[in-house]
Structure 1
C-alpha cells in the first residue's frame, strides 16, 4: 500500500477512535453521524487488512496493528495541523532578511535614502541590495523569489504580477544657474538652440523620451551621451549642457547642487511609477511589509 491510496480523512477517524474509544464518541467529536464513522472504519479495515478495533465491554479496543500505528499517525496529524494553522509572521525589528529590489540608478537617488533612513529605525537588521532591471531576466528572477520587488516604469511586467501606483513623473529641462534657459518659461526655439546631454538608459521610461522627441521632429544638438544619471548633476553644474529629466530628479539636483529647472516646452506625457511584485509572494509577510514601507514613504 502506498500513501497516495490513503484518504487522509480515514486517518483522522482512526486517531479519534483511539482517543474516544467508541464510535458514538468519535461521531460527536467529529460532528459526523455514527454510520459515517462506521463506514470509515470499514474502509480502513479493508485498506489495512486488519480489524483495527474490537468491540468489548470497555469500548473499542485497538489491535496490535492499531497500537503500532497510533503514535506515528497522531504525530503526523498534529504536525500537519500545526503547519496548516501556523500563520507566518515578519518581525522587522528582529529580522535579518536580505531584500533585493530592482530599480534604475535614478530610482536609487529617489528611493534609497528615505528607505534606508526608515529601515534604520524600523528594521535595523534588514539589508537591501539594488539590482538593475535591465541586467537580469526580471520576470524570471521575481517569479523565483530572487528579486523581491521592482519599482519604476515597467510595462513589461503585466501577467503574473501585482502592481501599485506610487506617483507620476513629469519631465523638465535641467541646467546650471545663469544658463540662457534660466527663465520662467522656455520655448521650443530655446530648447533646440541649447546643447544637450542625453542619458541613454535602455529599458526605462527615459528611453521613450528620446523616441518621442525624435518623432516630434525636435532638433537637438547632442554634445554628450552617458549611460546613467550618476554624474549628470556634476556635468550640468560645470557646463552649458541641458538635460531632459524627471521633476523629482531635477528637484533633488536643485536642492543639493543649486541647479535650475523649468517645465519642458515639448508636450511629453507623464510616466507612472509603480511598485511591482510577483503573485507568488502576494501574501508573503516579509514582502507585504516591504511593500507597505514603499507605499507609506513614496505613494502620492
Structure 2
C-alpha cells in the first residue's frame, strides 16, 4: 500500500531536520505519532531510512533517493489545495536554513536577527540557523530544502536557481591602531607594507580573483600570510603590521568592534555584488516567499541608513 500524504510529509521533514522531535514540533504532531509513522515507512520501503549518529538521524542512501520523488508528490498535492497557503510569521514555528560566508555571518546575520526581534516584540517562533556545508553542494542543498536561502555572491548557481540582487559593495582596508599607514594610506604605503590575504576560492570565485590580483601587485615578501576568512584576516591585522583588504560593509563593523583603523583602498578592484539565492522548488512556497521579502526589506532598510565614514578613522 502506498504511504499516505501525512507519512510522506513526515519523511520529507525528517530528511530536512534529521530529528524526530523537531519534525513533531514542525508538523504539530506528537513524537510517538512520528515514530509510528517512521516504523511503517521502514516496513514499506524495506530500509531503515535513518540511522542515529550522535544526536542526529542520518538518512540512508535509500532515503536520500526518495527525497526528490516525495518532494514532487507533495508539491503536486499542494497545488490541489482549495486556496492559497498562508504563512503568518507571528504564529508559525519554523527554522530557516541559511548559507553565507563568514563575512555575511558577521555583518548580515545580526541585521536579520534584529529584524526578527522586532516582529511582535520578539514573540515570533521563527529561528535562523546558518549551516556549514561544502560550498560545492549549495545548489543541491537548496534543491533538497536543507538550505532555504543563500546570501552572498554565488554566480555558479544556475540550475533552477533564482536570485535577487541586494547591493554592490567595494573594498576597503583595515589595520591596527598605530600602524605606520594609519591615517595616511597611499599607493606607495599599500605596496610596501605587508598584507594578509584571504584564500576563499573554494567559496567565492570573485574573492579568488581579487586575491590573485593582489598577489600580482605585491612582492612575495609583502605577503605575510593567507587565511580562509575575512574575520580571521581582520584579527591578524589587529595583532601585526599587516593590512587586510576586505569588503567595505564588513570592514566597517569589524573596525568598530575590534578597534581597527579603516582606510580607503588606493587601488582599483572589481565591485562585489551580493544577492539572495533560492531554488525554483521553493519559489512559490509561502514561508520561503516571506523569508525572501523579510531578508530583502530588512537588509536594504539597514543599507539605507548612513554608514560610518569611509575615510581613515581610529
Bin for the TM-score computed over the shorter chain:
0.5 to 0.7
Give secondary structure in 1 for the equivalent of 2:234: helix
CA distance in 2, matches of 1:134, 1:95: 30
Instruction: State whether residues 196 and 243 of structure 2, in contact with CA within 8 Å, keep that contact through their aligned partners in structure 1.
Output: yes
Q: TM-score, normalised by structure 1?
A: 0.67
Q: List aligned pairs for 1:73-152, cutoff 5 A.
A: 83-122=80-119, 124-132=124-132, 134-135=134-135, 137-152=137-152
Give secondary structure in 1 for the equivalent of 2:178: coil
Instruction: Specify whether residues 171 and 114 from structure 1 end up closer, same or farther in structure 2 by C-alpha distance, changes over 3 A only.
Output: same
CA distance in 2, matches of 1:261, 1:239: 15
Please tell me the root mean square deviation across aligned C-alpha atoms, in Å: 2.2
Instruction: Specify whether residues 181 and 161 from structure 1 end up closer, same or farther in structure 2 by C-alpha distance, changes over 3 A only.
Output: same
Unaligned runs of 5+ in 2: 1-76, 304-314
Q: TM-score, normalised by structure 2?
A: 0.64
> Who is 1:59 aligned against?
none
Q: List aligned pairs for 1:250-261, cutoff 5 A.
A: 250-261=251-262
Does 1:224 pair with 2:221?
no
Does 1:291 pair with 2:288?
no
Give secondary structure in 2 for the equivalent of 1:212: helix
CA displacement at 1:254 relative to structure 2: 2.1
Q: Give runs of ≥4 in structure 1 deviating > 6 Å.
A: none
The Cα offsets for residues 227-273 of structure 1, whole Å up to 9 and x where unpaired, read as 22344433322221111111011111222222112222221010100
Instruction: Specify whether residues 82 and 284 from structure 1 end up closer, same or farther in structure 2 by C-alpha distance, changes over 3 A only.
Output: closer
> Who is 2:183 aligned against?
183
Does 1:272 pair with 2:273?
yes
> Who is 1:236 aligned against?
237
Bigger Rg, structure 1 or 2: 1
CA distance in 1, matches of 2:79, 2:165: 37
CA displacement at 1:151 relative to structure 2: 0.8
CA displacement at 1:128 relative to structure 2: 1.6
CA distance in 2, matches of 1:147, 1:233: 28
Instruction: State whether residues 199 and 228 of structure 2, in contact with CA within 8 Å, keep that contact through their aligned partners in structure 1.
Output: yes
Give secondary structure in 2 for the equivalent of 1:272: strand
CA displacement at 1:209 relative to structure 2: 0.8
CA displacement at 1:199 relative to structure 2: 2.2
Instruction: Specify whether residues 238 and 282 from structure 1 end up closer, same or farther in structure 2 by C-alpha distance, changes over 3 A only.
Output: same
Instruction: Specify whether residues 133 and 154 from structure 1 end up closer, same or farther in structure 2 by C-alpha distance, changes over 3 A only.
Output: farther
Give secondary structure in 2 for the equivalent of 1:85: coil
Does 1:198 pair with 2:197?
yes
The Cα offsets for residues 12-56 of structure 1, whole Å up to 9 and x where unpaired, read as xxxxxxxxxxxxxxxxxxxxxxxxxxxxxxxxxxxxxxxxxxxxx
Give secondary structure in 2 for the equivalent of 1:84: coil
Give secondary structure in 2 for the equivalent of 1:168: strand
CA distance in 2, matches of 1:132, 1:260: 30
Unaligned runs of 5+ in 1: 1-79
CA distance in 1, matches of 2:160, 2:154: 14
Aligned residues: 219
> Who is 2:169 aligned against?
169
Instruction: State whether residues 236 and 242 of structure 1, in contact with CA within 8 Å, keep that contact through their aligned partners in structure 2.
Output: yes
> Who is 1:28 aligned against?
none
CA displacement at 1:136 relative to structure 2: 5.3
